[in-house]
Structure 1
Amino acid sequence: MRVQAANVRTKSVYEPADPTDGRRVLTTQYWARGIPRTAVDEYVRKLGPSRELLHAFKRAEIDWAAYKIFYLEEMQNEEAKSEIRRLAQVAQDETITLMCVCKDESICHRTLLRDLILAAKTP
């Protein structure tokens, strides 16, 4: 069974919470500065890009095209795949909002993660 696209949203953790967010899932390696733990429902560090990848991108050592390739490779480990499948199962019954500190979702891993969740096969 596939997840409905409307059930998987993305936003910056710095945007105000909204009742339509459903389950708010922070997916970063680092906790977001100034954000209380109560602002999110789950913190799934393993779905964030590695520190090395994040630093390379932030320092402009790699471009977005390379970042996408490396991030998707990082998500091929069993631990990440398991979390992706779990979130896909959750999203079958409720809305989830994937969050990161990036303001521009067009160059943020959360959009890539959303696609992985939407493509995940669930029982």
Structure 2
Amino acid sequence: MTLRVVRLGTPRHAGEGLRVGTARRPPRGVRKSDYARLNYYDVWLPELAPSQKWVSWALSQPWTDARWRKYARNYRKEMSDPRAARLIELLAALSKRTNLSIGCYCEDENHCHRSLLRELLREQGANLG
């Protein structure tokens, strides 16, 4: 069993399992009833997304190494909140029992919170695919 980190809205992999959206906002212009059919997500957990403050900050200027380090530090701080930490523990535990995936819309995973979330899940012992 594994947990994949994916870009929301992309075709699903065979056996991917439940797709969990970790974006701050649902997809624009898409009816809620179409989220799963259009490969966005089956379940939405915005609690694992960066706060609106940090989403806005991230989109305000191009990435530099220093900006990415600051963003990563603040995202990790937000994910240390007990509710977010419990969700990360839950996903890590589920990855040992079933296939599932988590994701965000960002094109570049290297500058997206999903790469940081992958690290947090790995630290909790998740089976990553």
What TM-score, normalized by structure 2, do the two folds share? Answer: 0.81
Query: Equivalent residues in 2 for 1:35-114 (5 A)?
Result: 35=30, 36-38=34-36, 39=39, 40-60=41-61, 63-114=67-118
Aligned counterparts of 2:42 and 2:4: Cα–Cα separation in 1: 14
Amino acid at match of 1:109: H
Amino acid at match of 1:47: L
SS at match of 2:15: helix
Aligned to 1:21: 16
Contact 1:11 1:98 in 2 (8 A): yes
- Work out the percentage of aligned pairs sharing the same amino acid: 27
Aligned counterparts of 1:117 and 1:45: Cα–Cα separation in 2: 16
Contact 1:10 1:105 in 2 (8 A): no
Aligned counterparts of 1:72 and 1:25: Cα–Cα separation in 2: 19
Contact 1:8 1:114 in 2 (8 A): no
How well do the aligned residues superpose, as a CA RMSD in angstroms? Answer: 2.0
Offset of residue 37 of structure 1:
2.6
After superposition, the Cα gap between the structure-2 partners of 1:91 and 1:34, relative to the gap in structure 1 and judged at 3 Å, is farther
Greater share of residues in helix: 1
What TM-score, normalized by structure 1, do the two folds share? Answer: 0.84
Aligned counterparts of 2:48 and 2:54: Cα–Cα separation in 1: 13
After superposition, the Cα gap between the structure-2 partners of 1:34 and 1:18, relative to the gap in structure 1 and judged at 3 Å, is farther
Aligned to 1:11: 6
Contact 1:26 1:44 in 2 (8 A): yes
Offset of residue 61 of structure 1:
8.2
Contiguous gaps of at least 5 residues in structure 2: none
Q: How many aligned residue pairs are there?
A: 117
SS at match of 2:72: helix
